[in-house]
Amino acid sequence: MKNSFKSLFITQCLNAFNDNIFKNSLILIVTYESLSAYGLQTTEIISIASFLFTLPYLLFSALAGSLSDKFAKDKMAQHIKLIEVFIMSLTIIALPSRNISFLLFLLFCMGMQSAFLGPVKYAALPELVKSKDLLRVNGIFQMGTFFSILVGTATGGILVKLYSSESHLIGIFLTIFSILGYLSARRIPKLKAQNSTITSSPNFVQNLKLAFQYPSIKYSIIFASWLWFIGNYYISTLPLIIKNYFFLDEGVSTLFMASFSIGIAIGSILSNKISTQSSISKCIFVGIIGMTLSHLIACFFLEQPEQTTQNIEGIGAFFQNPKAIMLLISISVVSIFGGLYVVPLQTLVQMNAKKQECARMISAMNIIQAISLLLSSLMLFLLFRIDLNIHQHYYVLAVLYFLMAILTFKHLDFFKEQKA
């Protein structure tokens, strides 16, 4: 990995690592301590947590993209990471308090700083590497990101298991790694502002209009958002499935969520080889078909248990449960094909964007991803409200998968490099 890319890579990995320690710790604490507030049950709080983490991407991505095009991206990254240090220091008192409002507010703040970092990191890549290397570098970038999600998710589970009664230690851990992220950001090579003449920050509607005037960018952005829609659904529901269907503990929940992340990392690396040997559009189509079929297989291993109360067991019991093992394999395969699907789509946005507009193209992608995540959280909330069991949620997802596969096939001609 070239030095010009290395510091940005490390900064992003540390950001993803910290995000997922905090988010997974919060989900596990709420789930396994059955916390409630304001008349909301555990499942509803988890849905709201996902919503609040995502909402800043909708609210602030347009501003973030405009600022990232206007100012040097290395300086932007440093300021954003410094804000993260402050946010994470507050978790030292927030986590032991079990104050749901305070914790959800900090989750919103973490989403906000990540929303500002998004256009910076992805728009900086075309400035740091050659166009012909973008697909490979994006694969590495996504692999590192999702490996960090894997490690962060696993670390969050371990920290909750070890220190749930001394959770200020989790806050200290988060603060230390946010400081490391800031130090890494200071080593990003100096970059010049690409469009210092921007005088106003567009709202998200204007941002989308700018991006959607280019068909290849528009369809790449829209279809890439599917991974985030279903990914959010899996991450939000897997702890509930593991606890309420298989009666297994948070260690097994962490294993499932970590497997999803590492699967995307594997698919991200494979996407470069498949796209090079075949074509970007074929790689995308193989990805969506593989995701659809793997999800259907996962549905076969989900059925509501006859007993609703049973002792929660650990990892040993998991290895004695064939259905749980097959569900893990199926979800992991979904995520591998997810990496094949999403990396080429994200790379096409960078390839097809003008340098002076690249950050705003990335922010448009973040906005659509935020909308897809919000819709995913809303669907989760509504399906719980109408008393559908979790395995029935997965049947609804299967129908949506079929629709996305058909739409992807119909738009394959747009998935190619075509400079804006």
Give the model's pLDDT for residue 35. Answer: 65
Question: Higher-confidence residue: 2 or 298?
Answer: 298
Confidence check: pLDDT of 196 > 80: no
pLDDT at 235 over 60: yes
This prediction has a pTM of 0.77
The yes-or-no verdict on residue 138 having pLDDT over 70 is: yes
Residue 238 predicted with pLDDT over 80? yes
Q: Mean pLDDT lowest for which of 164-173, 275-284, 285-294, 407-416?
A: 275-284
Q: Which residue has the tokens 């989790």?
A: 170
Residue 303 has pLDDT above 70, yes or no: yes
By CB atoms closer than 10 A (0-12, 13-18, 19+), residue 310 is exposed
Average pLDDT of the chain, as a whole number: 84
pLDDT, residue 269, reads 82
Q: What pLDDT does 202 receive?
A: 64
Average pLDDT over residues 292-304: 88
Residue type, 188: I
CA 191 to chain centre: 26
pLDDT at 3 over 60: no
What integer pLDDT is reported at residue 418 of this predicted model? 58
DSSP E strands in 72-114: the ranges are none
Residue 65 pLDDT: 84
d(CA 177, CA 183): 10
In CATH, the architecture of 3-186+204-414 is Up-down Bundle (1.20)
What's the start-to-end Cα distance of the chain, in Å? Answer: 28
Number of helices (H), then strands (E), in the chain? 14, 0
pLDDT tens profile 397-407: 999 999 999 99
The percentage of residues in the chain with a pLDDT greater than 70, rounded to a whole number, is 95
Compute the average pLDDT of residues 216-233.
90
| Torsion from C-alpha of 58, 60, 61, 65, nearest 10 degrees | 160
Question: Tell me, what amino acid is at 171?
Answer: G
- pLDDT score of 200: 58
Write down the pLDDT at residue 222: 92
d(C-alpha 408, C-alpha 237), whole Å = 26
Confidence category of residue 307, pLDDT binned at 50, 70, 90? low
pLDDT for 4 equals 64
* pLDDT of the residue at 405: 93
- CA torsion 27-33-39-45 (nearest 10°) is 10
- Torsion over CA of 55, 334, 239 and 235, rounded to 10 degrees? -10
- Mean of pLDDT values over 135-146: 80
Residue range 100-123: average pLDDT? Answer: 87
Of these ranges, 180-189, 236-245, 308-317, 353-362, the one predicted with the greatest mean pLDDT is: 180-189
Task: For 377-414, give one letter per residue: b (16+ CB within 10 A) or e.
Answer: bebbbebbeeeeebbebbeebeebbeebbeebeebeeb
Higher pLDDT, 151 or 38: 151
Write the pLDDT tens digit of every residue in 252-270: 887 887 788 788 878 888 8
- pLDDT for 287 equals 93
Segment 292-319 mean pLDDT: 81
- Determine the Cα–Cα distance for residues 15 and 106; give it in Å rounded to an integer: 15
Q: How far is 298 from 288, CA to CA, in rounded Å?
A: 15
pLDDT of residue 274: 81
Give residue for tokens 């290849």.
216
- Ramachandran region of residue 304, left (φ > 0), alpha (ψ -120 to 50) or beta? beta
Q: What is the pLDDT of residue 221?
A: 92
**Mean pLDDT in residue range 97-109:** 87
Cα 419 from Cα 356, distance rounded (Å): 13
**How far is the C-alpha of 305 from the C-alpha of 246, rounded, in Å?**
8
Q: How far apart are CA 34 and CA 76, in angstroms?
A: 39
Section 89-117 average pLDDT: 89
Tell me the two tokens of residue 44. Answer: 């509803």
40-68 tens-digit pLDDT: 777 777 778 877 887 888 888 888 888 88
> What Å distances lie between residue 90 and 93, 110, 147, 149, CA to CA?
6, 11, 26, 22
d(CA 54, CA 170): 22
Interacting residues of 71 by C-beta distance below 8 A, sequence separation 6+: 193, 196
DSSP label of 246: S
Query: CA–CA separation, 135 vs 252, rounded Å?
Result: 34
DSSP string, 170-212: HHHHHHHHHHHHHHHHTTSPP---S-TT--S---HHHHHHHHH
